[in-house]
Amino acid sequence: MAKAATTAKGATTAKSAAPRKAPKAESHLAMVRRARRINRELAEVYPYAHPELDFRNPFELLVATVLSAQTTDLRVNQTTPALFAAYPTPEDMAAAVPEEMEEIIRPTGFFRAKTKSLMGLSAALRDEFGGEVPGRLEDLVKLPGVGRKTANVVLGNAFGVPGITVDTHFGRLVRRWKWTDEEDPVKVEAVVAGIFPKSEWTMLSHRVVFHGRRICHARKPACGACPIAPLCPSYGEGETDPEKARKLLKYEMGGYPGQRLSPPADYPGKPAPALGAE
């Protein structure tokens, strides 16, 4: 029979650690209450949460959101001033010379596929919607290159129609918070929609994405600097030391510029630099 081990200080420990009891399963009601409390806490941390794409009208937001695939909002914001100067309306963009548009949006990556989508959706807006961006989900998702995520971004931020935007940050955080274990964005959207009232959907999306970009990162979450750590069942996946965690904070939380060149007036951070000025 194995003897008890002795620690460096002379104290004895059990010959084998007692098995830890599995945490008590959280009821659905308890999860909903915790989720809603997280939303309230995030609202206090990020009262200035907003869409991080620069836009002046629904068309610009639609185009910017399509461009944001597989790149950062910062890179999109640095690229769209020249794009909208050249093609300010759907009619202009539909009639563009593809090679010329490709050169403008090259910094966003996948520029040939994105040019095709932008010209296609612009032609559809011109031909089917009188040059106006429609304000209905079922119409938006019919446009080339526009899925539910893009449609919800446009509806929530250009038309005031509540929507849940399930991007990579949103999906990662709601799984870390154990709101759902679904991976499919449409299923995630449906689950989260059942937890929160419709009036919260758009701002919830902004708050969660803000938190994912600033604190709860994919590879190195700053657990030790997280204001909602007591509510997070995944606490400890990242750095828990407060000083080390603070060094992981990004954007205004870490004292750095944000992603928008033209942020809202209440944004506490610095505007992003123009293309070539980084």
3 state DSSP class of 17: coil
Neighbour-count burial of 100, counting CB atoms closer than 10 A to its CB (0-12 exposed, 13-18 middle, 19+ buried): exposed
3 state DSSP class of 133: coil
- What is the Cα–Cα distance from 147 to 246, expressed in whole angstroms? 36
* Lookup: tokens for 258: 């944000």
167 flagged as catalytic: yes
92 flagged as catalytic: no
The active-site residue out of 54, 73, 114, 149 is 149
Give Cα separations from 243 to 16, 34, 211, 247 (angstroms): 34, 27, 18, 7
The active-site residue out of 139, 142, 167, 220 is 167
- CA atoms 148, 149, 155, 158: torsion sign: negative
Pure H helices in 95-196: 98-105, 111-128, 137-140, 148-158, 168-176, 185-193
Give catalytic residues, as residue numbers.
149, 167
